[in-house]
Amino acid sequence: MRNVYLVTAFLVVLTLSILGLRGTLFVKAPMDVFPEWIFPGMKYQSKLKPQAQSKFFADGRADRPLPAGVVPAAYGPAGQPLRNDDARYAGKDADGDFVARIPAAVKVDMQFLEHGRDRYVIYCAPCHGALGDGQGITKQYGMGATPTFHDDRLRQMADGEIFNTLTHGKGNMLSYADKLTPDDRWAVVAYVRALQRAQAGSVSDVPLVNKPELGL
């Protein structure tokens, strides 16, 4: 009996789909699920569509010309300076080569490193691991091609190239340009260098004033 009901319901739906309202002309407006009197000003808001006419402006155009003196900016928050510094915003010098070190325009201090650590933990550690050794959580799920930052190839890689990889992605790694600002990316680069330095550190690198803390 249950199958009879299901077949009947299916045939009804199929019939309505094919013959139901096809070609029917309606002279009344459809029922408004969210009427204006319940949600005033929310559904039918006044707006100007692109390239439409407007009686509000003297020239009759909805599109407004740019104010005199404005300059284009590709992206960035309000107040962001023009990104005409290739070293800072592209990781390249005037010849198009990757810069060897983080640009001087970027102030690298402890606060900057802490910010880089924060960004690294969020976006990089799942694959590259907390130590930068490629032993992130994703390796447990079959992603075994993540490189370690402690490989000589990556130790000798220019800072600008690491920045470029963060910007455009590489291999299975997608771009993080939509998640990390240019200075965020440099902060990550600085933290990666700190991880590399820590991995290769020795007792001789510890300042004399701090050796007692290590029992040396």
CATH number of the domain where residue 144 is located: 1.10.760.10
- Report d(CA 215, CA 105) in Å as an integer: 39
- Report d(CA 31, CA 11) in Å as an integer: 27
Q: Between 127 and 83, whose confidence is greater?
A: 127
Percentage of the residues of the chain whose pLDDT score is greater than 70 = 86
pLDDT of residue 115: 97
In a domain, 63, yes or no: no
Q: Among candidates 158, 172, 180, which has minimal Cα distance to 128?
A: 172
Q: Which residues contact 2 (CB under 8 A, 6 or more apart)?
A: none
In a domain, 169, yes or no: yes
In a domain, 163, yes or no: yes
pLDDT of residue 136: 92
pLDDT tens for residues 2-23? Answer: 778 888 888 888 777 766 565 6
In a domain, 150, yes or no: yes
pLDDT of residue 9: 86
In a domain, 22, yes or no: no
Question: Residue 104: pLDDT band by 50, 70, 90 thresholds?
Answer: very high
Question: Residue 78: pLDDT band by 50, 70, 90 thresholds?
Answer: very low
User: What are 46's two structure tokens?
Assistant: 């006044």
In a domain, 122, yes or no: yes
Task: Say whether pLDDT at 79 is over 80.
Answer: no
pLDDT of residue 21: 60
Note down the domain range covering 112. Answer: 100-201
Report how far apart, in Å, the C-alpha atoms of 173 and of each of 93, 143, 190 are: 24, 11, 19
In a domain, 135, yes or no: yes
